Every structure is written in C-alpha cells, then in structure tokens.
C-alpha cells in the first residue's frame, strides 16, 4: 500500500511539473503591503554554528521596521554568554533582535516556540534551526504567498551544504531529496496533507493559534501542528524552487539520534491523529489514505525488520516443505514494492544529478547502497517506532551540529557528541552475523545446489548492519 501510494505521488509530481505557477510578489515601496515578520531561532548548546547562524540571518533582505528576530536560547553552557554578546552587537546595527532565555526547558523546542509566540510582533513566524542558512531573498520569495488568506504555512525545500562529505551524508541527502520532491510536491499538488518540516518554513500566526498552538507531547511537534492546522482547513504551500541550505549529520551517532526522534515522533503522531483524520468530514477519502500512510511511514522500518528476521527461517521452511512452495512464489510478487521505489527514486535522483546512462548507473549503485543502509537502521528505528506506538515518553535529544567548513578535520572534539555507544550496537553486530549465515544458507538448502532467491536481500542486510555496526564502533575509537 505504501509503495502504491508512492507511485501515485510520482504521478502527481510529474503532473505538477507540467503546470507553471506564477511567483507571488509584493511592492516594497508600499509599506502597507509589506507584512510584519518575526523570525524564531530555537537553539540549544550550538557552539559550533551559532555565529554562522546569526551572521546569516542578519543578511536577510527585508525592511528592518517590519522584521523582528527572536533567538530562543535554551542553552545550558557557555554559549548563552557568547550568543548574548553577538545579539547585542547585531542590535547596535539597527536590527530588532532579542536574546530570549528560559529558566526551564518545558516542552523543549515546542515550548520555546510557544513562549516566543506570546510576545512575537509579527503576523507571520519564520522558523530556522541552528544549521540552516536561508538566502538573503528568502522572505521576499515566501511571504507574498500569504496574500491568499487560506494559506497557513509556506514550506521551502532543504538543501545540503555537505551532501558529498561522506557516504553517510550522501545517503541522508538521497532520502531527504525524495521527501522534498516526490512526497511534498506529490501531496501538495493535489491538496493532500503535507508537513511543516520544523524549519525553513513560515507560519501565519493566526494559523498556529487556531490550530491549538505548539504542543510538546510528541517528538515531532512540527508534524503534530501541521496535521492539526490542516484538519482546521488551513492550506499549506510547498515551494520546491526555494532551497534553504543546511548541514547533514556527519557522524552516525548524530544520525541515530535524529532518526530515532523522527521515527518515534511519526509513530506518536499516528497514535495522536489517527481518529481525528478518520473522523474528519472536511477531507476526502483519498487525502485520508495518504495522510494515514504518511503518519505510518516510520512503521515501514518495523515491517522491514520483521520480514528480515523471518526470511532465514522462511528459506528453510520453503525447502523443507515442498507443498508450501507455491505460497512463497505468490509472496514473491511483493518484490514489486522495491521496483516501485526504484522507479520513484530515479525521478528524484535525475532532478538533482541529471539523466543519461552514466548517471543511471550511478543511481543504481546509490539506490542499493541507500536501501542496504536503511535496512541496517531497521532495528534502531523499529525500537523508536514501537516506543512511539506504545506511548512511551522520552526526552527530546538534539542532533549535534559541526560547522564542517571550519571543523572538518577535528569533528571528534565536538563536545556535544555522545560518549557512550548505543545499546543496540551489539545487537546490530549479531544481526550482521545472522544475515551472513543467511547468505551461507543459500548454498546448503534444497536438493538442487542451493536456493539463491533471498541471497541479494540477505547480502544487503549483511552490508547494512555491518556498515551501521562498524561505523558506530569507529566513531568512538
């Protein structure tokens, strides 16, 4: 079902490319036409990127008398002092910028955004995480869309300043590019629910209030508020052509914490939003299906993990009980889902890297590398999904930033990196061995020289869990 939904989104995406949309503008010479904007920068212990963030935001080209910047600083280290000093220097240039701190971190990021909203001057609220670097014309390219009173959010596409830093960053970029092209455009072009991505987007303040404001009861407060707003009939606008560059996690422990938060948050939001979506009388049945599959997308990892674990016993059962073989042949039909993903992701990849035989050959390698490493994360992410569906609460764990342009060679000195190995690493090492046994089994089962039908699957699982296991060990050495 999920694969078929992706195929439908591909059709929507390609259909949307045939339509040319007029870019909205407003006249800066008419002050009454220029709305007041508040920029919120939620930060927590961002020693390595704070200076870069503030200097970049100060370059935004927008009338200063219509712009307010809130630095929502929940930091607990020395960056509180350095950030305050930097903010004061920028304020001396005439910029309306404030350093706002809290005595507690209730609600984490959602709590900081909510408290900042209470004193925000702007009718529109732009939000940027600490590692995002919007272009100077970012507000001019996004704010005019709010001329449509039904628009509650304008979301822009994430770019990646360190896409080619390593295999890990290339894989993350590959996955995010699919989300920010195929999925966001495919849903938005047909009026299905999309999500504000937590950063690089701008909200209508009235929309936030009408939807019930920020809530900190899930780890993905952005997805939560997005669905509550769209259930209230607010429309979202996704701008694929407006890229907002950002930094991808460069070490596997940082990628782990981000993946855990996103996947658990997705499951938490499915639990929270399921009946609201089903019972809504404002949306079509097709939008409901796409919405529920969107909320369930993190649960794909649980499905992958269960299938992976059972695949080796299945290999022996298939060859031991001949009368069951026909059932296994029928089940092989579901390999179609992988083919569908392969086709869908190619169109996304082609957008970024171009077409041609050489590019397609590179895509084939990247696709199977991506799939292998995604499966290597399936144990870690399945635990996150189970916790989310079970309602187990956990702290918001931030993703450490690095500013790799300055600290590329000594990232191991980053003070925010977790020092301890994840408890799952040992299990991931054992699973690597388990799927190595699965490959060996292909040679010894059956009466006619082996059964290699699942060999590629087990090879990918072996590579994926091996990559995650050895990368996790190496990052601590």
Q: What is the pLDDT along the chain (477 residues), one digit of tens a residue?
A: 999 999 999 999 999 987 766 666 777 667 788 999 999 999 999 998 999 999 999 999 999 999 999 999 999 999 999 999 999 999 999 999 999 999 888 899 999 999 999 999 999 999 999 999 999 999 999 999 999 999 999 999 999 999 999 999 999 999 999 999 999 999 999 999 999 999 999 999 999 999 999 999 999 999 999 999 999 999 999 999 999 999 999 989 889 999 999 999 999 999 999 999 999 999 999 999 999 999 999 999 999 999 999 999 999 998 888 888 888 888 888 889 999 999 999 999 998 888 899 999 999 999 999 999 999 999 999 999 999 999 998 887 778 788 765 444 566 667 777 767 778 899 999 999 999 999 999 999 876 778 898 999 999 999 999 999 999 998 765
Q: CA dist 429 to 155, 254, 390, 434, 472, Å?
A: 39, 19, 26, 9, 10
- Rounded to 10 deg, the angle between the 378-390 and 357-376 helix axes is 60
- Provide the edge-to-edge strand list for the sheet that holds 201-204: 97-101, 67-73, 37-43, 124-127, 201-204, 151-160, 235-246
Contact (Cβ atoms closer than 8 angstroms) between residue 159 and residue 243: yes
Q: Which residues are catalytic, by number?
A: 74, 222
Report DSSP state, residue 280: -
Q: Counting beta carbons within 10 angstroms of the beta carbon of residue 413, is it exposed (0 to 12), middle (13 to 18) or buried (19 or more)?
A: exposed
Contact (Cβ atoms closer than 8 angstroms) between residue 71 and residue 54: yes
Helix, strand or coil, per DSSP, at residue 93: coil
> For every residue of 434-445, which 3-state class applies, written as one string?
HHHHHHHHHHHC
């Amino acid at each position: 079902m999920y694969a078929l939904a992706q195929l439908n989104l591909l059709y929507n995406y390609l259909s949307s490319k045939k339509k040319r949309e007029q870019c909205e503008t407003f006249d800066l010479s008419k002050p009454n036409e220029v709305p007041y904007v508040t920029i919120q920068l939620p930060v927590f212990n961002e020693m390595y990127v704070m200076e870069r963030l503030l200097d970049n935001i100060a370059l935004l080209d927008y009338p200063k008398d219509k712009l307010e910047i809130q630095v929502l600083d929940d930091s607990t280290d020395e960056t509180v002092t350095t950030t305050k000093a930097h903010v004061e220097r920028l304020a001396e240039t005439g910029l309306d910028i404030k350093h706002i701190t809290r005595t507690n971190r209730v609600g984490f990021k959602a709590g900081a955004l909510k408290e900042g909203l209470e004193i925000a001057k702007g009718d529109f609220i732009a939000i940027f995480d600490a590692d995002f670097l919007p272009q100077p014309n970012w507000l001019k390219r996004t704010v005019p869309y709010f001329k449509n009173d039904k628009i509650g959010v304008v979301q822009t596409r994430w770019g990646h300043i360190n896409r080619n830093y390593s295999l890990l960053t290339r894989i993350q970029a590959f996955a995010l590019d699919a989300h920010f092209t195929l999925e966001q455009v495919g849903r938005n072009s047909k009026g299905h629910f999309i999500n504000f991505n937590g950063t690089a987007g701008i909200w209508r303040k009235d929309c936030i209030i009408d939807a019930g404001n920020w809530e900190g009861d899930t780890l993905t407060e952005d997805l939560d508020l997005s669905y509550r707003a769209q259930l209230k009939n607010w429309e979202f606008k996704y701008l694929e052509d407006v890229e907002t560059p950002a930094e991808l996690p460069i070490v596997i422990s940082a990628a782990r914490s981000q993946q855990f938060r996103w996947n658990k948050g997705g499951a938490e939001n499915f639990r929270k939003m399921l009946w609201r979506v089903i019972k809504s009388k404002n949306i079509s049945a097709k939008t409901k299906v796409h919405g529920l599959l969107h909320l369930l997308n993190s649960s794909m990892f649980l499905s992958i993990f269960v299938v992976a674990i059972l695949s080796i016993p299945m290999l022996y059962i298939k060859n031991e009980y001949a009368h069951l073989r026909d059932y296994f042949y029928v089940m092989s039909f579901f390999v179609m889902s992988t083919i569908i993903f392969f086709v869908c992701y190619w169109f996304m990849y082609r957008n970024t890297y171009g077409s041609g035989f050489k590019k397609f050959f590179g895509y084939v390698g990247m696709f199977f590398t991506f799939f292998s490493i995604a499966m290597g994360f399936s144990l870690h992410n399945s635990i996150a999904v189970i916790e989310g569906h079970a309602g187990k609460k956990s702290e918001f764990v931030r993703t450490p930033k690095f500013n790799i342009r300055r600290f590329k060679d000594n990232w191991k000195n980053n003070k925010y990196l977790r020092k301890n190995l994840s408890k799952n690493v040992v299990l991931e090492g054992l699973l690597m061995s388990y799927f190595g046994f699965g490959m060996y089994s292909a040679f010894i089962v059956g009466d006619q020289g082996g059964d290699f039908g699942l060999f590629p699957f087990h090879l990918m699982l072996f590579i994926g869990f091996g990559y995650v296991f050895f990368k996790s060990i190496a990052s601590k050495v």
